[in-house]
Amino acid sequence: EAGVTQFPSHSVIEKGQTVTLRCDPISGHDNLYWYRRVMGKEIKFLLHFVKESKQDESGMPNNRFLAERTGGTYSTLKVQPAELEDSGVYFCASSQVGAGVRGEQFFGPGTRLTVL
Amino acid sequence: AQSVTQLDSQVPVFEEAPVELRCNYSSSVSVYLFWYVQYPNQGLQLLLKYLSGSTLVESINGFEAEFNKSQTSFHLRKPSVHISDTAEYFCAVSDKAQKLVFGQGTRLTINP
């Protein structure tokens, strides 16, 4: 069974441009999470979907970030316009219903975003 | 609010030596505790977790961690490390809100 996949693995963009990150969770996992690690800092929660609904978006840094999960399958995270401080590694994770609270989140390899 | 502190950003050890990676947390409610590991060029993997019951939990590759409520700690230990244990290790907590709160990570390097 395929794990959580993320695309692209790396993205280098200019400040002010738009970037869209994609996450495909494990099939059947209703919970989908986005996290971010800025260089040298801890991994921080961004938001949590249950199917297509946003359960918790308390970690989204500002309105330049837009996450969607249409149809409750894959998710996208758009940054528009990108700023230098958005650089970092963006992780996606998924879990089955009820498993998230027990920490059984499965992580993807991450997308490394560099904003120049 | 919860927070996690990993006191050591880097830990170098020799192969077959014991290691301890320290983790302390702060929370006003009961939490679940986890250790994740990220091997080079891979995603995060769950190494072990404490939910309830026995305070000593073990992983399949020889790591163990002990939940100490009075000291609010969840240190990770292994009696004898191998080159393949080279990775970055993350301590994390969560409550019923499901989101994970991570520490800063500890990079474990094994020298032959």
The region that residue A102 occupies, defined by phi over 0 for left and psi between -120 and 50 for alpha, beta otherwise, is alpha
Burial A54-87 (b: 16+ CB within 10 A, else e): ebbeebbeeeebebebeeeebbebebeebeeebb
Confidence band, pLDDT 50/70/90 cuts, at residue B51 = confident
Q: Over range A70-93, report the average pLDDT.
A: 95
User: pLDDT (tens digit, 9 = 90+) per residue, A8-57?
Assistant: 999 999 999 999 999 999 998 999 999 999 987 899 999 999 999 999 99
Q: How far apart are the first and last CA of chain A?
A: 37
pLDDT at position A4: 94
Going by their DSSP bridges, the two strands B64-68 and B73-78 should be labelled as antiparallel
Residue B20: C-alpha distances to residues B36, B78, B108 (Å): 15, 7, 10
pLDDT at position B81: 96
C-alpha–C-alpha distance, residues B73 and B24, integer Å: 4
Q: How far apart are the first and last CA of chain B?
A: 41
Nearest to A32 by CA among A12, A9, A55: A55
Cβ of residue A33 closer than 8 Å to a chain B Cβ: yes
Cβ of residue A90 closer than 8 Å to a chain B Cβ: no
Q: Is the pLDDT of residue B96 over 80?
A: no
Confidence band, pLDDT 50/70/90 cuts, at residue B103 = very high
User: pLDDT (tens digit, 9 = 90+) per residue, B52-80?
Assistant: 888 888 888 899 999 998 999 999 999 99
pLDDT at position B42: 86
pLDDT at position A103: 62
pLDDT at position B98: 80
Nearest to A35 by CA among A19, A56, A64: A56
Question: How high does pLDDT run on average in chain B?
Answer: 91
Which of B97, B98, B103 lies nearest to residue A42, judging by beta carbons?
B103
Amino acid letter for position B72: T
pLDDT at position A51: 93
Tell whether omega for the bond before A8 is within 30 degrees of 0, i.e. cis: yes
| Three-point CA angle A114, A70, A113, nearest 5° | 5
Nearest to B89 by CA among B73, B75, B69: B75
Q: Is B76 exposed, middle or buried (0-12, 13-18, 19+ CB in 10 A)?
A: buried
Looking at the complex, report in whole angstroms how far the Cα of residue B31 sits from the nearest Cα belonging to chain A: 10
Which of B43, B45, B99 lies nearest to residue A56, judging by beta carbons?
B99
pLDDT at position A1: 64
Cβ of residue B67 closer than 8 Å to a chain A Cβ: no
Two tokens, residue A3: 């794990």
% of chain B beyond a pLDDT of 90: 69
- Give the 3-state secondary structure of residue B34: strand
Q: Over range B19-32, report the average pLDDT.
A: 89
Amino acid letter for position A72: G
Two tokens, residue B14: 């020799």
